[in-house]
Amino acid sequence: MTKTSKRTHKTATAPKARVSKNTTYDAKAESIIDYAKTFDGVKYKYGGTTKKGMDCSGLIVTSFQKEAIQLPRSTSQLAVVGDWVDVKEVQKGDLLFFATSKNSRNVNHVGIVTEARTGFVEFIHASTSRGVMTSELSERYWYFAFVQARRIL
């Protein structure tokens, strides 16, 4: 496992508001997010990439394919793709990585940022217990499980 897939120290500082000047980036991010949202409510299925069942990395790979962006299939492989981004600088379309296994610091979960403004980050992901859903990074569980953010677009 690489250093980038391990937990890192984070501060409690709220994210800054993003003012984008790149309309191509915005359009791609919105397209990816909109497509990911079509899977909202789909049950979790390990290895799944369809409306019959979806896992977290499957949601990422399937959503980015909508914009002809090919990504590796596993969360650990995704965790080293693109550029590291400070959590205070995340934008729509960025990926958030988490370590949710007890007593492990390895990345095993990923979601796509759907909304980012000062003090608020929302992301869509496939939860093992609740399927595809949106959550807020400020929720205690996700806040403490957060490892890193990466920008693909």
**73: amino acid identity, one letter:** R
The pTM of this model reads 0.85
Which one of 28, 92, 109, 150 is the catalytic residue?
109
Taking only the tens place, the pLDDT of each residue in 43-83 is 999 999 999 999 999 999 999 999 999 999 999 999 999 99
Q: Which of 90, 125, 126, 135 is catalytic?
A: 125
Give just the sign of the alpha carbon dihedral 118, 120, 126, 127.
Answer: positive
Highest CATH level, class, for 15-151: alpha beta
User: What is the residue extent of each domain of the chain?
Assistant: 15-151
Digit-coded pLDDT (tens) for 93-143:
999 999 999 888 899 999 999 999 999 999 999 999 999 999 999 999 999
